């Protein structure tokens, strides 16, 4: 495994630059019956105020484990090494998440960092109104009257684009569409005005039209609230549209980190090149079909199906998935 490649144009670490979160040499292992499994290995990442950092890579590369560590949401069988230094929005206080007790973690969740989960229907409780669920965070972090909580819920619902928030604050999750549920999840994350939001594939379950609306909302969250975002995604189109900086993970390591434009125009690591090469492009299927047809031997169409061979597969479409080599991202 090669060391992390930092493309020219990626933000350089500096002592005089404040970070909302700084991850230092993070390693996470999970205890299993077959022995310890290392999911994250020596990750270093930083996020500045108002920055959108996209963490990309194939399934199992360690993206979600890294993000979950920022909120202290790892299961009991996880062992963590390194530091995850989280600052509040004003920059007046910071905590090492790895060293915090469960009680201390509850204090920083919601106020300093919040989570937007992948599936909003699973994140919302079906038996409580969305107004009650939004104000739950307010009640957990301070005394707030029912009237004040409702007013805050109505205000934040309006800011994330829910129509008729005064009425719909009393509705239940099943009365909203998938895109509206995701807006509600974002509202729940914003109600305490944290400095950082971790969004774990927030557009995966949405159609492309609603996906564009949610991306626009996240962009407004960054601009209007000044909130930094750690975006976990497989969708390179989402990355190109929203991210300022991109970190590419493979087998628990960050193999390349760069400014978004530089990563797409001049990727340095071989795995990053294959990851970008796996993105479908209009017209590409016809070219591949023509190339396969040209490579077939004479009489291929007349031969019985059991004896037809397409020839050797392209090395960018096949490869070992072993731990010692980097497979193509195309099949993931």
CATH of the domain at 264: 3.40.50.300
Same domain flag for 169 and 206: no
Q: Are 157 and 186 in contact (CB under 8 A)?
A: no
Identify whether 297 is part of a domain. Answer: no
**Domain limit, last residue, from 170, 193, 216:** 193
Count Cα neighbours of 257 within 13 Å in the Cβ-side half-sphere: 18
Same domain flag for 226 and 326: yes
Domain span at residue 91 reads 17-112+195-279+312-332
**Domain limit, last residue, from 193, 218, 248:** 193
Whether the full predicted model's pTM is greater than 0.85, yes or no, is no
Is the model's pLDDT at 222 over the cut of 70? Answer: yes
Question: Which residue(s) pair with 80 in the sheet?
Answer: 28
Same domain flag for 100 and 241: yes
Same domain flag for 27 and 136: no
Mean pLDDT of the chain: 86
Same domain flag for 234 and 323: yes
| Selection from 132-136, 142-146, 202-206 with the highest mean pLDDT | 132-136
Residue 282 has a pLDDT of 75
In percent, the amount of the chain with pLDDT more than 90 equals: 63
pLDDT: which is higher, 314 or 212 = 212
Same domain flag for 329 and 225: yes
Question: Measuring CA to CA, how many Å separate 288 from each of 280, 282, 284, 292, 330?
Answer: 12, 12, 6, 6, 14
Pair of tokens at residue 33: 């019956």
For β-strands 228-232 and 35-47, DSSP reports them as unpaired
- Report residue 211: phi and psi, to 5°: -55, -45
| Selection from 14-28, 65-79, 197-211, 303-317 with the highest mean pLDDT | 65-79
**Domain limit, last residue, from 173, 193, 213:** 193
Identify whether 317 is part of a domain. Answer: yes
Identify whether 273 is part of a domain. Answer: yes
Q: Are 229 and 218 in contact (CB under 8 A)?
A: yes
Identify whether 290 is part of a domain. Answer: no
Same domain flag for 164 and 222: no
- Residues 220-226: what's their mean pLDDT? 91
Identify whether 9 is part of a domain. Answer: no
Same domain flag for 238 and 183: no
pLDDT per residue as tens digits for the range 24-67: 999 999 999 999 999 999 999 999 999 999 999 999 999 999 99
CA pair distance 173, 20, nearest whole angstrom: 32
pLDDT per residue as tens digits for the range 82-126: 999 999 888 888 999 999 999 999 999 999 999 998 889 999 999
> How many domains does the chain fold into?
2
Same domain flag for 199 and 189: no
């Amino acid at each position: 495994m090669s060391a992390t490649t930092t493309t020219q144009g990626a933000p350089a670490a500096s002592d005089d630059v404040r970070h909302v979160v700084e991850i230092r040499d993070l390693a996470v292992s999970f205890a299993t019956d077959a022995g310890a499994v290392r999911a994250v290995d020596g990750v270093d990442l930083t996020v500045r105020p108002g920055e959108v950092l996209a963490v990309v890579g194939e399934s199992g590369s360690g993206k979600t484990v890294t993000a979950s560590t920022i909120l202290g949401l790892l299961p009991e069988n996880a062992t963590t090494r390194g530091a995850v230094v989280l600052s509040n929005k004003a920059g007046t206080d910071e905590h090492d998440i790895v060293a915090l007790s469960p009680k201390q973690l509850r204090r920083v969740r919601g106020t300093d960092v919040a989570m937007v989960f992948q599936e909003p229907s699973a994140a919302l409780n079906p038996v409580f109104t969305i107004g009650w669920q939004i104000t739950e965070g307010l009640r957990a972090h301070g005394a707030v009257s029912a009237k004040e909580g409702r007013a805050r819920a109505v205000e934040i619902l309006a800011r994330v684009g829910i129509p008729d928030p005064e009425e719909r604050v009393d509705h239940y999750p099943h009365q909203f569409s998938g895109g509206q549920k995701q807006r509600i999840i974002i509202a729940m994350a914003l109600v305490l005005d944290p400095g950082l939001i971790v969004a774990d594939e927030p557009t995966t379950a949405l159609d492309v039209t609603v996906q564009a609306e949610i991306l626009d909302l996240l962009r407004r969250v960054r601009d209007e609230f000044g909130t930094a975002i750690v975006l976990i995604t497989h969708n390179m189109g989402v990355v190109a549209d929203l991210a300022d900086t991109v970190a590419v993970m493979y087998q628990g390591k960050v193999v390349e980190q760069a400014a978004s434009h530089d990563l797409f125009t001049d990727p340095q690591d071989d795995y990053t090149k294959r990851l970008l090469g796996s993105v479908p492009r209009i017209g590409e299927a016809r070219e591949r079909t023509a190339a396969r047809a040209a490579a077939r031997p004479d009489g291929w169409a007349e031969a019985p199906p059991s004896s037809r061979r397409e020839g050797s597969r392209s090395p960018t479409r096949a490869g070992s998935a072993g731990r010692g080599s980097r497979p193509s991202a195309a099949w993931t």
